[in-house]
Structures are given as structure tokens and as C-alpha cells.
Amino acid sequence: MQENMQELDNVSRKILDDAEKEKEHELERARKEARDIIEEAKQKAAEIRREGKLKAWQKYKEVLNIELSRIKSELDQGILEYKINLIDDVISEAKKKLLNMDREDYKKFIIKSLKDLNIDSGYYIIGSEENNIDGEMIESIGDFKKSEEKPDFKRGIRIIKGKTEYNISPDALIDSNIDDIRMEIASYLFSGDGDKE
């Protein structure tokens, strides 16, 4: 009987040893699975962080580009306004200088204007505030006669030939060609501005 007991103890120990080994084997398998799951989770987390950083960087660049475009547009608009004001100032100064021509230069201006317009006769009206022109000057230039009409303008002269009226004054000359003059001034003042871009 003692032999049976010993055999039973041996079988029990073997069962317990096998159970312990199985338990260790299961624990090791569970630990390995847990390590694999943790490693996979770490890789996914790193990938999500990389994607998040990439998306954040792309969004940052997009917002930065939009903001830079807005700032550049505002600067371009400011520069354009400055250039327009500068051109207007140059035109204004030119008008002032033309309006302050001496009598002889003014006569030359009128003679050239009449020649360019191919006018050598007609009726004339002198502007109400014109100081550089008088009837004697106009009549010495060609076959011009004083009109009975009262002036409805301040500077220069108006020549009436048939049904056509010609307004001749430095500021009228500038105003009639203002777009071409602005283009010429802009070209002169700002040529080469765009080469830096």
C-alpha cells in the first residue's frame, strides 16, 4: 500500500509539475502576445503621430501661404497706390508749371497747338482768368476774330471754326491725353520695378 501511495504521490507530483509547466507556458505565451500587442500599439501610435505631424505641417504651410499671399497682396496694393499718387503729383506739378509759363512760351504753345490742329482762322474766346493771352496776341497768330460769347471757362482759349470748338490750354492738353501721359510717366518712373520678382 505504501507503494501505491508513493505511486499516487508521484502521479500527483507529475500532474502538479505538468500543470506548473503548462501554466508557465501559458503565461509566457500571454506575455509574448502582450509584448506583440504593445509593440504594435507603439508602432500605430508612432504612425499616428507622424501622420498628425505631417497633417499639422501641411496645414501650417497652407495657412502660411494664404497669409503670405494676403500680406503680399496688401503690400502690392500699397505700392500701387503710392505709384498712382506719385504719378498724380508729377502731373499736378507739370500742370502748375505749364500754367505759369511766361507770355512768350505761352504764345509758342498756342502757335504749336493751332498748327497741330491745322487751324489758322476762326473766332476766339479767352478764359475769364487768363493772364498770358490777349486779343492782340491771338489775332497776330492767324485770321482770328473775337467772339461775342462770354467765357464759361477760366484758362486758355477756345477757337470756334464752323460748328467745331477747340479748347486750347496746357491743362486741357494734359487732361485730353491723361491716360497716355500716366503710362509714359509710369514707364519713366518705374521701368525695371518688376525685374526683381
**Owner of C-alpha cell 493751332:** 114
Positive or negative, the Cα torsion across 176, 133, 118, 121? positive
- pLDDT at residue number 196: 45
Residue 17 corresponds to which amino acid? D
User: Quick check: 157 and 130 in contact, CB under 8 A?
Assistant: yes
What string of pLDDT tens digits covers the 197 residues of the chain?
A: 667 667 767 777 777 777 788 888 888 887 888 788 888 888 888 888 888 888 888 888 888 899 889 998 998 888 888 888 888 888 788 777 777 778 888 888 888 888 888 888 899 999 888 888 888 888 888 888 998 889 888 888 898 988 888 888 877 777 777 777 778 877 877 776 554 44
Question: Looking at this protein, which amino acid is placed at residue 104?
Answer: E
Contact of 190 with 145, CB cutoff 8 Å? no
Instruction: Measure the CA–CA gap between 181 and 149, rounded to whole angstroms.
Output: 32
User: Is 189 in contact with 90 (CB distance < 8 Å)?
Assistant: yes
| Rg (the chain; Cα; Å) | 49
**DSSP state for residue 153 in the 8-state scheme:** S
Instruction: Give the ranges where 100-152 is alpha helix by DSSP (H).
Output: 103-116, 135-141
**pTM score:** 0.49
Contact of 85 with 114, CB cutoff 8 Å: no
